[in-house]
Amino acid sequence: MRNVWLIIKREYLEKVRTKSFLFSTLAMPAIIAIVLLPGKMSTMKMSGTRNLVVVSADRSLGEAIKRELEKPSKAADRDDQDDGSARDLTGEYQVELSGDVSDAGRVQLRERVERKELDGYIWLGAEQIADRKAIYTGRDTSDFMNQGAVRKAVRDAFVAKAMGDHGISPAQVNEVLKGARLEVVQLDRGQEKKVNTGAALGAAFALVMLLYTTVLFYGIAIMRSVIEEKSSRIIEVLMSSVTAKELMAGKIIGVGAVGLTQVALWSAMVAVVAAPGAMAADLFRKAQVSPLALAGFAVFFLLGYLLYASMYAALGAMVNTEQEGQQLQMIIMAPLIVGVSLLMLVMRDPSGTVATWTSMIPFVAPVLMYLRIVVQTPPLWQIGLSIALLAGTIWGLLILCSRIYRVGILMYGKRPTLPELMKWIKYADV
CATH value at residue 144: 3.40.190
The reply to whether 13 and 117 lie within a common domain is no
What are the strands, taking DSSP E only, across 200-329? none
In the predicted model, is pLDDT for residue 229 greater than 70?
yes
Condensed to tens digits (0 to 9), the pLDDT of residues 107-144 reads 999 999 888 888 889 999 888 888 888 999 887 777 77
100 in a domain, yes or no?
A: yes
> What pTM value is reported for the model?
0.62
Predicted confidence at residue 388, as pLDDT, reads: 93
Q: Quick check: 78 pLDDT over 70?
A: no
Which sign does the torsion angle of CA 362, 366, 371, 376 carry? positive
- Do 54 and 152 lie in a common domain? yes
Domain boundary among 161, 182, 203: 182
Looking at residue 287, its amino acid is A
Q: Based on the structure, what is the number of domains in the chain?
A: 2
Q: 98 - beta bridge partners?
A: 55
Quick one: average pLDDT of 36-47? 55
- Does one domain contain both 118 and 231? no
Question: Which tens digits make up the pLDDT trace of 175-196?
Answer: 776 767 777 666 666 666 665 5
Please state the φ and ψ torsions of residue 91, each to the nearest 5 degrees. 80, -160
Angle of helix 322-341 versus helix 197-231 axis, rounded to 10: 160
Distance CA 353, CA 349 (A): 9
Note whether 259 and 378 are same-domain residues: yes
Within this chain, do residues 230 and 334 fall inside the same structural domain, yes or no?
yes
* Residue 228 sits in the same domain as residue 298: yes
106 and 49 Cβ atoms separated by less than 8 Å: no
Rounded to whole angstroms, the Cα distance separating 146 from 52 reads 11
- Alpha-carbon distance 8 to 302, whole Å? 16
252 plus 333 within the same structural domain = yes
Quote the domain boundaries for residue 303.
7-39+193-427
Residues 146, 17: one domain? Answer: no
Report the candidate in 251, 224, 230, 229 with the shortest Cα–Cα distance to residue 410. Answer: 230
Q: What percent of the chain has pLDDT over 70?
A: 75
Q: What is the mean pLDDT of residues 214-220?
A: 78
Q: Is residue 1 situated within a structural domain?
A: no
Is residue 46 over pLDDT 80? no
Distance CA 336, CA 218 (A): 14
Q: What is the pLDDT of residue 76?
A: 39
The long-range contacts involving 336-340, CB below 8 angstroms and separated by at least 24 positions, are 336/212, 336/215, 336/216, 336/308, 336/363, 336/364, 336/367, 338/364, 339/212, 339/363, 339/364, 339/366, 339/367, 339/368, 340/209, 340/212, 340/367
Q: Minimal CA–CA distance to 298: which of 215, 206, 355, 225?
A: 215
Q: Residues 275-320: pLDDT tens digits?
A: 554 445 455 555 555 667 777 777 887 888 888 888 888 888 787 7
Cβ-based burial of 187 (10 A; exposed 0-12, middle 13-18, buried ≥19) = exposed
